[in-house]
């Protein structure tokens, strides 16, 4: 996948100044974390794209015509494509949180 396609829309996350979404002429919407620019990657991770690329939503079958972040829920996005299908979606929590930030399971905590 070429990450250098012409961008036709960008939307900043309203609650996180380093997170933005972008869409190109393809059917994909990409979520970026600019705080991750220049983070070193393993060769395996580099195959998935640059470190600042968090996620690619590829659920549309036509060109995305518009998208918007949910102002109340940090990681929910609504996107609509030229086939008039609206999708409301959210990334899995482990994509945007470091493992250290995710609360440990209660059963693994010391008593």
Rounded CA Rg of the chain: 16
The Cα 105–Cα 41 span in angstroms is 28
Q: Are 65 and 84 in contact (CB under 8 A)?
A: no
**Would you state the pLDDT for residue 2?**
59
**Would you state the pLDDT for residue 24?**
85
Q: Are 75 and 96 in contact (CB under 8 A)?
A: yes
**Positive or negative: CA dihedral 18, 41, 39, 3:** negative
| pTM of this prediction exceeds 0.85 | no
**Would you state the pLDDT for residue 111?**
40
Which DSSP letter does residue 5 get? S
Residue range 29-59, pLDDT digits in tens: 999 999 999 999 899 888 888 999 999 998 8
Q: Where are the domains of the chain?
A: 7-108
CA dihedral angle for residue 22, residue 84, residue 88, residue 61, rounded to 10 degrees: -70
Residue range 59-91, pLDDT digits in tens: 899 999 999 999 998 899 999 999 999 999 998
């Amino acid at each position: 996948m070429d990450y250098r396609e012409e961008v036709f829309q960008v939307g900043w996350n309203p609650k996180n100044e380093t997170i933005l979404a972008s869409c190109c002429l393809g059917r994909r919407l990409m979520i970026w974390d600019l705080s991750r620019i220049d983070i070193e990657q393993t060769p395996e991770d580099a195959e998935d794209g640059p470190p600042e690329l968090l996620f690619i939503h590829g659920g549309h079958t036509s060109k995305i015509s518009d998208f918007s972040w949910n102002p109340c829920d940090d990681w929910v996005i609504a996107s609509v494509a030229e086939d008039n299908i609206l999708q409301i979606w959210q990334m899995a929590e482990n994509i945007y949180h470091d493992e250290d930030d995710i609360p440990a399971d209660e059963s693994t905590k010391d008593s």
